[in-house]
Structure 1
Amino acid sequence: MTDPDRRGPAPAAEDPWPAPRARGPVEATVTLPGSKSLTNRALVLAAVADGPSVVRRALRSRDTSLMAAALTSLGAVVDTSGDDWRVTPLDAAAPAGDVAVDCGLAGTVMRFVPPVAGLATGAVSFDGDPHMRKRPVGEVLGALRTLGIDVTGDALPFTVRGTGSVAGGTVVVDASQSSQFISALLLAGARYERGVDVRHDGQPVPSLPHIDMTVAMLRQHGVVVDDADANRWSVAPGPVRAVDHLIEPDLSNAAPFLALAAVSGGTVTVRDWPAATTQAGDALRGILAAMGCMVTRTDAGLTVTGPDELQGVDLDLHDVGELAPAVAALCALATTPSHLRGIAHIRGHETDRLAALATELGRLGADVTEHPDGLELRPAPLHGGVWSTYADHRMAHAGVVVGAAVDGVLVEDVATTGKTFPDFAGSWAALLDRDV
C-alpha cells in the first residue's frame, strides 16, 4: 500500500479489472466523447452570458455533471436531459440563497465556479472528495478577495459570499501550479465592473494551451481579451454574448486508444480529429511520430499505425502534462531510454502523478527513476501485477496501455475513468475482444 498522503487516495477495495491483452495488431476506428475542458468552459460562459444558449454534444461525465449542478445551484438552469445541453444564465437579481457545491475531483469546478459565485447572491460553500482538499486553489481565492469578493478559507472546504456584483480590477497570481488559476479568473471577468487584469508572477505557467483555449472561447462570446504581453491577460468589462458551442472530441482521451496502435503494431483511427484546435491532446501527433509511429490526419480523423519497435523519447511535456501518464506507459514499453521532463506540476493533479507512475511502473518491472520534474525510463522486461489508480482517470489509462502489451495486469478502480469517459472499460474491452 502506498502512502496516501503522498500518493493520493488508497486503491478501491473492489476486485481489480483484468486489463485485456492485445494478441495481435489492433485495427479499429474509435468515436470519442466530447472534451471535458471545452464542455466545462462552455457551461461557465453560458451561465454568465446575456441570453440562453446550447452546448451541443456536451460530454456527459462526472466532472461535467458536477459543473452543471454547481451552476444550477447558483441560479443558472442547465438542462442535461438531451445530448445537447440547454443553458439559461444566472440572474444576479434573483438570490440563489445559501447553497453547497460538490467539486468531486474536478479541478475546473473547484477553480472556475468561485469567480461565478461572486456574481450570485448568497453564501456558496465548496467541498469535494477527500483528495480534492489537497489540490491547490489558494491563489484563486486570494485573487477573488483582491477583486472584491468575500471568501472564507484558502483551501477546500471554503465559502464564497456573493452580492450579485464584483468590483474587479488587477490581480497578481502565481499560476505555476496550474493554468486553471488564470482561466478561472478570466472566464467570469467580463461581468465584473472593471473587468479583470491578471498578471502571473512565478515560474512558467504550465499547460498554456488551456489558457489559449479559454481566451479563444471568450473571444467567440464577444469578450475583448488582451493577451499581447507575456504573463498578462486582460479582460475588458462588458456583456458575454450568448453563443452555441459544438464540443470537439476529447483529444486527451484519445491517448490510450492511439497508444494501443503503438503497442500492438496495429492501426487505430480516432474519428473527427479537428484540423485546428486548442486542445493539448493534439500534441499526440508529434509525440507518437517521434516514437516511430506513422501518423496521418484526414477529414475522417487521425490515424496512427504502430511500428515494429517503439522508440524512446526525450520530451518536455510542460504544456501538455495531462498526456504524461499514457506517454510514460509507452516509454516503459520502448526499446530505447526516455526522459519526460517539465511536469513537476502534475504532482498536484488528481494524485501526485509522477510518484504514482514511478511506483506502479516500477511494481511491474520497469526501470524508472523519479525526478522532481519528471521521469527517466530505461528498457526493462515488464510483468503482470496489480496497477493502482489512486482515483485518477489518467492513471487508469496508463494501466490499460501497459496491460495491452503485458499479460496479467490488473487495474484497480477502472471505473474512475468515468470522470471524463463514461464506460471507458466497456469500450476498451470491446475493442480488444475483436482481436483476442
Structure 2
Amino acid sequence: MKTYLVGGSVRDELLGLPVQDHDYVVVGASPEDMERLGYRPVGKDFPVFLHPQTNEQYALARTERKISRGYKGFEVFTSPQVTLQEDLARRDLTINSIAKDETGHIIDPFNGVADLEAGILRHVSPAFSEDPVRILRAARFAARFGFRLAPETLALMNDMVHNGEVDALVPERVWQELARGLMEQHPSRMFYVLRECGALARIMPEVDVLFGVPQPAHAHPEIDTGVHIMMAIDYAASKHFSLPVRFATLMHDLGKGTTPPEEWPRHIGHEARSIELTRNLCERIRVPKDARDLALLVARYHGDVHRAEELRPATVADMLQSVDAYRKPARFEEFLQACACDFHGRPGYAGKPYTQAERLKIALMAAQQVDAGAIAAELSQVVINTAELPAAIHNKVRDARISKIKKELLGGDVDTIHSDLS
C-alpha cells in the first residue's frame, strides 16, 4: 500500500501557487484495508475515503471505461492491482497527471512538468474525448493560468464538438464550469478557447454571435461587440467583482447579436432584446437567482445608468425604485459595478472615472433620507378612502424623494460628496 499526492495540489505546488486542498491516491489497497485503518468511506461512484485525523480525501487507484454518452457515462474499475500510472492515465490534462510520493519524489509519466514550464494544456490520451466536461475544464484552466492549448488538443476538442459530445452536457454542469471560469483571473480566455473549438456556439450561442457584430466606433474603439464583452469581464475580474457582477457583465449586450445587419452599427432597442435572451439563457443552463436577477436589471437599465448625468431627478427616482435600490442597496452597488465594467471594457477607458455611478449613489443616499414610514403614518390619519391610501403614500414618498434628489444633484457639491464616499 502506497500513498501519493496527485492532481491539482502537485500542479499548484510546482507553479508556486497556494495549495488549497490535498488529494491523494492509494495504490495496492482495498476498501476493506482502508476501513481497517480508520478511513471513512464517502465516495458514491468510486471508493473515496476521508483520513481519520485530517479529513483529507484519499481515493483508491482506479481506471475508467466509457459506456455511454455524457460525463456520467463511465464504468469505474478499482482493485489493489491498479497501478499509479494507470490512475494518472485516466486524467484529463498532463499538468493534472503529476504525482508526488511520500519522499517528495515527482512521478511524471506524461511529461506534465514540461508542459507546466512551457505553459501548454495538453490531453493525456485520446480518452480525453470521452468526457465533454473536459472541454470546459481545459478552457477554464486557460483562463486561470493563461496557458495555450496544444494544437492536437484543440483539434480533439473540435472533433468532440462536431460529434455532438457537448450536447450531452447537463445544464447544471455547464453552469458550474462557466461560473468557475468567470471567477478566474482572465475569464475572457475561457470564452476564446470555447469559441475556437466551436463549443461556445453550442452552449452559449447568444454570446458566440456577438463576435463580428460592429458597434459605433466613436463609443466603442474596439468596434466588435464580442471583443467588448471580453474586455468588460476581464475588467470585472481585475477588480475582483462577484460572480453575479461578472455574469451580468457577460450578458448585458446580448441583444446586439440580434440586430439586423442593415441597422449596424446602431443597436436601437437592444436592451429589451437582451432581457429576453438573458432570461432564456438563464433558464436553459440553470443560472442561480441572484446572478439571473442582477443580469436582467443590468441588461434593462445599463443604458440609463450611462446617461445618468442627463436624467431628470424624477427619472432617477423612478429608476432607483425599479431596480429596488431602496430595499436592496448592496445589490444596487453590484448593479453599478456591472455598468462600470461595460463603461471600462473599451480601449483607453480602463482608467477613466465613471462619474455616473457616483452620481446615482449620491441620489440614493439623498432619497434614503425620506422617511416612508412616517409619511405612511401621516397619510393614514387624513386619507378617508382606504382604497386610495396606497397610491397616495406612493406618490407622496416619490415626490419627497425627487425633491431630495433634485436638491442634492442640482444644489449640492458632487465632488465633495464623492470624496466622502471613496
TM-score (norm 1): 0.30
Query: Relative contact order, CA 8 A, sep 6+: which one is greater?
Result: 1
Counting helix residues as a fraction of each chain, which structure ranks higher? Answer: 2
TM-score (norm 2): 0.31
